[in-house]
Chains A and B, each alone.
Chain A
Amino acid sequence: MTPEQIVGQRAPRQDALAKSTGAFIYGMDFQLPGQLYGAILRSPHPHALIRSVDASRARALEGVEAVLIATDLPAGLLMPGVVWDQPLLASDRVRYHGEPVAAVAARTPELAQQALDLIAIEYQPLPAIVDAESAMAAEAPLVHEAWVSYRAEEGLLRDRNVCCHASLNKGDVEGGFASADEIIEGTYTTESVHQSHVEPRVATAVVLGGEVPTVYTNTQLPYWIRTNVAHALGVPEEGVRIVPTGVGGAFGSKLYPQIEPITALLSRAAGKPVRLVVPLSDELIAGLPRHPTKTRIKTGVKRDGTLVALQATMYMDGGAYTGSTPEIASVAVLCLAGPYTTPNVHIDVHGVLTNKTNFGAYRAPGGPYSVFALETHLDEVAARIGVDPLELRLKNILADGGEAANGQIVTSVGLREAVERATQAIDWHTPAGPNRGKGLSLGWWTTTLQLSTSEALVDENGKVVVRVGTNEIGTGAIMGGVRQVAAQTMGVDIDDVVIDVADTLSGLWDWGSQGSRTLSNVGRAAQFACQDLRLKILSLAEKVLETERERLDLAGGEVYSIDNPSERITLKALAQRAPAGSLRSRAESNAEPATHDKSRLTSCLYPAFHHPSFHCHAAEVEVDPGTGMTRVLRYAAAHDIGRAINPTLIEGQIEGGVMQGIGMALMEEVLYDERGVRTNINWTDYKLPTIADLPEIRAIIVEHPTNLGPYGSKGLGESPVLHPPAAVANAIGAATGKRFRSLPITPERVAMASA
C-alpha cells in the first residue's frame, strides 16, 4: 500500500496476526518463574464494622509467603483521587459487598484460597444504604462518617453522602416554562451494567530489594497505575516501572488500580514475584461498573416543536467511594443538555454515596443513561404535541457555529447529516409493520484531551519505530490508526512502521487509552514526532546527497532529490550513516480544551466536550406481544468522526458499541438484593449479548473534520454505546404503544406491561 493512500484505508493492524494464531501474550498469559499467586479476601457484607481480624492461621500455613491486612499497611493510608477517601484494605469498617479486607500470596492458587479461608474476621453488620435518593435525606446514616476530613479537589461541592453536585444553568427555566404551550415530565431509571471484558484483570508485581519495583499489568492507563503503586509503596513515582501487557478488552474497567498496589505490596512482603488474577465472580461483585441513575426531566415546548425549557435532576448512585463520580457527574450534565438549542436549561446531577461497589468509568461514563433519559423523554414530548420524533429533533439541534448549553461554540457539526443518514437507512418514513416500531436517539460526545507523548526513531534496518506511552486495548487506535498516521507522515509502507508500547520508565507520559482520546491524541503526538523526525532525516540527507533540504522529499521509504530523483538514499542506508541516536524525535500533544461559559457551570470537573463528535442511531424492532421478546431487526448508527483514518476500525467501534448498548437496553443488569448484596455474579445470570442477538447493523461514517486529531479526526471509541438504550426503547415504544422508562427492557417487562 503506497504511502499516500494509507490514511483512510482498511489497512490490517499490527497485532492481528499474532492474535489470530494464539501467539499474542495477554496479561492473563504473562508468567514469571518463581512467581507466587495472590488472592484477595473480600467483605461478604455491604456495610459492617470490623471488630477483629485474625490472620495468624493464614500466616502459619505452609506455602503462604505473605499476608496483608490493614494493620500491615501504613496507618491511615488512603489512595489518591478527586477525594482521598478509599483505603487499600478496609480497616475499621467495610462499605460494600466485595470490598478488599485482606490479601495473601502463596505458592499455588489453591494454597492462596486456603489462606483466605483461614483469615478470621469478626464483622458487625450494619444497615446498608442502597438507594441514592434516600441517601441524600437529612437523617440518612453516613457512608463516610469522616467525610469532612478527607482531602478533596477544590471547588467540589460535597455534603455528607453527596460526594459531588454538578450543575448547569442557562437562561431562566421558570420563564421558559411559563412561555411553553405544553409541559412534559418524566422519571427515568437505569441500573448498573458491567464492562464484562472477556480477559480478566491481572497483574504481576516484582518488588525485590535493590531493584526497580515493576508491575506488569493489562492496564489502560499505565501512569495512573504508577502513581498508585508508588503511593502504596511509599516511593517516588519515577522509580516505579509499569509495564503494559496485552489487553483482552477493558472498556474503562482497567483504568483503575484495583490490584496493582496490593500486588506490589504482596511482592515486597514475600520478596518474590506475585501474580494476582481477579476471578470473574469478584469482578462482577466488586469491579467498577456503570452508575445506576434516576433522572427527572421536565420540558417546556411550543406547539410548533420549539423546545423552550429543560430542567433535569439526576441522582447518580456513586457506590461506597467517590472515585470518578464527580467527573462523570459533570459529563452527565452535558449529555442531559444534549446538542440542542434549548434557550433555558437547568441541570443538577448529584453523585451520592451508598453501600454498593464504587461505580466507575464504563465506556462513555455519564452518557448512556443520560441519553436514555433525554432521548426517550423527547419522544414523549413529540407525542404530546403530535409531531414526528425526527422532526422534533431536526427543529432543535445545533448546527455549525451554534452555542451549546454550557456556552461552548460547536464547529464541525455533522449532526444533521448523521440524523438524516441514520434515519434514511431504516426507511424512517415508511411505517413499520405490525408489532414493529422505529426509534431514534442522537447526541454529542467529547474527544478527551490531556497529554500524550510519543517518540519516533529510525532503527538500523531503516524501520520507523514509534513508541507510545499507553496501551492498545483492542480498538485498534494504536496498532492500527496511529501506525497508519505514522506511515503516511513518514512516507513509508505500513509494514515498515513498528508501534511499540513503552513502559513508564520511558517517560512517555500519557493520559491513557480512554475517553475517546487515543487516536486523536496519541496519533497527534506521534504525528508531531514523525514530522520532527522527517526534518532530521532530511537534514542528514542534505549532507549525504549534497542537496538542500528544501529540495529533498521522503517517500516510499527513500529520501530523494526532487530535481534529480535518481539521487536517492534509502532510510536504511541513511540510518546506518547517522550518528547514534540522532534519528530520534520526541513530541507531545496537549491540545487546548474547548472554551465554555464558566458562569453557567458549578462544580463541573469536565465542563466542555472538546472537538465534539455528533451521532444518531435509528433502530427498528419487532416485539413478540405474547412473550415480550424484542428482536432488533435493523440498526443504523451514523457517527461524525471528523476524518476516517481506517473505516474498518471505525465500523468495528460502532458495531461493538451498538451491541454493548443493546445489552444495556434489553438484558444486562447488575442486581442487588434489598440488603445491598450482589446477586447475579456470573455470566450465567449476567446476560451478555451473543451472536444470536445480532441485528443487521449499518455503520455510517460522517466526516466533518476538526483541527485536533491527525487529518481532522475526532474521537469515536465511546459514542456508539450512548444511543442503543434510547433508540431501542423508543422503537419498542412505537411498536407497543407503551413507554418504558427503566432499563433493561426485558421480555418480562414488555409482556407484563400488556398482559
Chain B
Amino acid sequence: MTTSMEISLDVNGRTYALEIEPHETLLHVLRGRLGLTGTKANCEEGECGACTVLVDGRPVNSCLMLAARAVGARIQTIEGLARERRFVALQNAFIAEGAIQCGYCSPGFLLATAALLDTNPHPSEDEIAFALSGNICRCTGYTKIVQAVRKAAAEGVQP
C-alpha cells in the first residue's frame, strides 16, 4: 500500500503538480521539491519563524503545515513577494536601514512585515512587536528591523 498522494499547490501564483508523501511539510516541499530555498529551515518547531510563508496572505510556520493541508490555498514565499511592486519599498527600507546582517531571518521578517502592512498600514510599536515576535533574529537585535518597518510604513507599501 502506498501512502503517496498527488497534490496541486499554488505557490507564488503558479500551480505545481506534485507527488508527495503525506508526512512532508510545506517547508520541505518548497525547499526540497520546488527548489525555493528562500524559505529557511532550522528549529522545525514554530519557534524561530525562519520558515515563514504567507498562506492566503497570512504568515504561518511552513514547518508546522503539512503540504497536503496547503492544497487550495494561495501560498507566497519570499521569491514571490520579491517580484511584487510592494516589495520595492520594503526591500529598500530593510537595506537602507541595515536591517539585514546575516540575512537568514530576513525572508521571514519581510513576509511577516508585508502581511502586517497589508492590513495595518500604520502599525503602532506594539502592533509591530506582536506581528514580528514570531521571528527570531540573532544578529540585528531587532532595532533596525523596527526602523525598517516604520520607514516602509511611512513610504507606503502598496499591494
In the complex, the answer to whether B141 meets A657 with C-beta atoms within 8 Å is yes
In the complex, the answer to whether B107 meets A652 with C-beta atoms within 8 Å is no
Contacts A249-B139, A691-B135: A22 and B79 contacting too (C-beta < 8 A)? yes
Chain A residues in 8 Å Cβ range of B136 = 198, 683, 688, 690
Chain A residues in 8 Å Cβ range of B105 = 198, 248
In the complex, the answer to whether B141 meets A19 with C-beta atoms within 8 Å is no
Any chain A CB within 8 A of the CB of B106? yes
In the complex, the answer to whether A692 meets B133 with C-beta atoms within 8 Å is yes
Chain B residues in 8 Å Cβ range of A29 = 31, 37
In the complex, the answer to whether B78 meets A21 with C-beta atoms within 8 Å is yes
Q: How far is the CA of A250 from the CA of B139 in the complex (A)?
A: 9
In the complex, the answer to whether B138 meets A196 with C-beta atoms within 8 Å is yes
Name which residue of chain A comes closest to B50, CB basis. Answer: A198
In the complex, the answer to whether B103 meets A682 with C-beta atoms within 8 Å is no
Q: How far is the CA of A474 from the CA of B141 in the complex (A)?
A: 13
Any chain A CB within 8 A of the CB of B18? no
Any chain A CB within 8 A of the CB of B43? yes
Q: How far is the CA of A249 from the CA of B38 in the complex (A)?
A: 16
Chain A residues in 8 Å Cβ range of B103 = 15-16, 19-20, 24, 248, 474
In the complex, the answer to whether A198 meets B110 with C-beta atoms within 8 Å is no
Any chain B CB within 8 A of the CB of A475? yes
Picked from B31, B40, B41, B141, the residue with its CB within 8 Å of the CB of A655 is B141
For window 130-152 of chain B, which residues contact chain A by CB distance below 8 Å? 130, 132-146
In the complex, the answer to whether B141 meets A659 with C-beta atoms within 8 Å is yes
Chain A residues in 8 Å Cβ range of B91 = 17, 20-21
Name which residue of chain A comes closest to B106, CB basis. Answer: A19
Picked from A24, A199, A694, the residue with its CB within 8 Å of the CB of B42 is A199
In the complex, the answer to whether A249 meets B102 with C-beta atoms within 8 Å is yes
Chain B residues in 8 Å Cβ range of A528 = none
In the complex, the answer to whether B42 meets A20 with C-beta atoms within 8 Å is no
Any chain B CB within 8 A of the CB of A536? no
In the complex, the answer to whether A22 meets B139 with C-beta atoms within 8 Å is no
Q: Is the interface of B mostly helix, strand, loop or mixed?
A: loop
Q: How far is the CA of A12 from the CA of B148 in the complex (A)?
A: 14
In the complex, the answer to whether B138 meets A20 with C-beta atoms within 8 Å is no
Any chain B CB within 8 A of the CB of A740? no
Which of these binds chain A: B2-10, B64-72, B92-100?
A: B92-100
In the complex, the answer to whether A198 meets B38 with C-beta atoms within 8 Å is no
Contacts A12-B95, A251-B138, A683-B136: A691 and B145 contacting too (C-beta < 8 A)? yes
Contacts A198-B42, A198-B102, A247-B102: A20 and B142 contacting too (C-beta < 8 A)? no
Name which residue of chain B comes closest to A15, CB basis. Answer: B103
Chain B residues in 8 Å Cβ range of A683 = 43, 45, 47-48, 136
Give the Cβ gap from A247 to chain B, nearest Cβ, in Å. Answer: 6
Chain B residues in 8 Å Cβ range of A651 = 98, 143-144
Contacts A659-B141, A688-B138: A22 and B132 contacting too (C-beta < 8 A)? no
Q: Which has the most chain B C-beta neighbours within 10 Å: A13, A200, A692? A: A692
Q: How far is the CA of A690 from the CA of B112 in the complex (A)?
A: 14
Name which residue of chain B comes closest to A197, CB basis. Answer: B138
Picked from B37, B98, B137, the residue with its CB within 8 Å of the CB of A649 is B98
In the complex, the answer to whether A28 meets B78 with C-beta atoms within 8 Å is no
Please tell me the number of chain A residues within 8 Å of chain B, measured between CB atoms: 53
For window 637-683 of chain A, which residues contact chain B by CB distance below 8 Å? 648-649, 651-652, 655-660, 682-683
Chain B residues in 8 Å Cβ range of A697 = 141, 143
Name which residue of chain A comes closest to B21, CB basis. Answer: A110
Give the Cβ gap from B95 to chain A, nearest Cβ, in Å. Answer: 4
For window 287-309 of chain A, which residues contact chain B by CB distance below 8 Å? none
Q: How far is the CA of A655 from the CA of B48 in the complex (A)?
A: 19
Q: How far is the CA of A195 from the CA of B146 in the complex (A)?
A: 23
Picked from A16, A682, A699, the residue with its CB within 8 Å of the CB of B43 is A682
Chain A residues in 8 Å Cβ range of B62 = none
In the complex, the answer to whether B39 meets A20 with C-beta atoms within 8 Å is no
In the complex, the answer to whether A658 meets B141 with C-beta atoms within 8 Å is yes
A617-642: CB near B (< 8 Å → 1, else 0) gives 00000000000000000000000000
Picked from A10, A19, A198, the residue with its CB within 8 Å of the CB of B100 is A19
Contacts A22-B77, A247-B102, A651-B144: A198 and B107 contacting too (C-beta < 8 A)? no
In the complex, the answer to whether B141 meets A20 with C-beta atoms within 8 Å is no
For window 219-264 of chain A, which residues contact chain B by CB distance below 8 Å? 247-251
In the complex, the answer to whether B139 meets A280 with C-beta atoms within 8 Å is no
Chain A residues in 8 Å Cβ range of B47 = 682-684
Chain B residues in 8 Å Cβ range of A655 = 140-144
Contacts A198-B48, A655-B144, A697-B141: A20 and B40 contacting too (C-beta < 8 A)? no
Q: How far is the CA of A270 from the CA of B140 in the complex (A)?
A: 41
Give the Cβ gap from B33 to chain A, nearest Cβ, in Å. Answer: 12
For window 92-131 of chain B, which residues contact chain A by CB distance below 8 Å? 94-98, 100-107, 110, 128-130
Name which residue of chain A comes closest to B79, CB basis. Answer: A22
Picked from B40, B95, B129, B141, the residue with its CB within 8 Å of the CB of A198 is B40
Give the Cβ gap from B118 to chain A, nearest Cβ, in Å. Answer: 18
A588-625: CB near B (< 8 Å → 1, else 0) gives 00000000000000000000000000000000000000
Complex A-B: 6 CB contacts under 8 Å: A197-B138, A198-B42, A198-B137, A656-B140, A660-B141, A691-B133
Given contacts A19-B100, A659-B142, 14 further A-B contacts (CB under 8 A): A19-B102, A19-B106, A20-B103, A22-B77, A197-B102, A198-B104, A198-B138, A474-B139, A475-B101, A660-B138, A689-B142, A690-B135, A692-B133, A694-B142
Closest 4 CB pairs of A and B: A22-B38, A474-B102, A248-B104, A19-B103
Interface residues of B (CB under 8 A from A): 31, 36-45, 47-48, 50, 77-79, 82, 91, 94-98, 100-107, 110, 128-130, 132-146
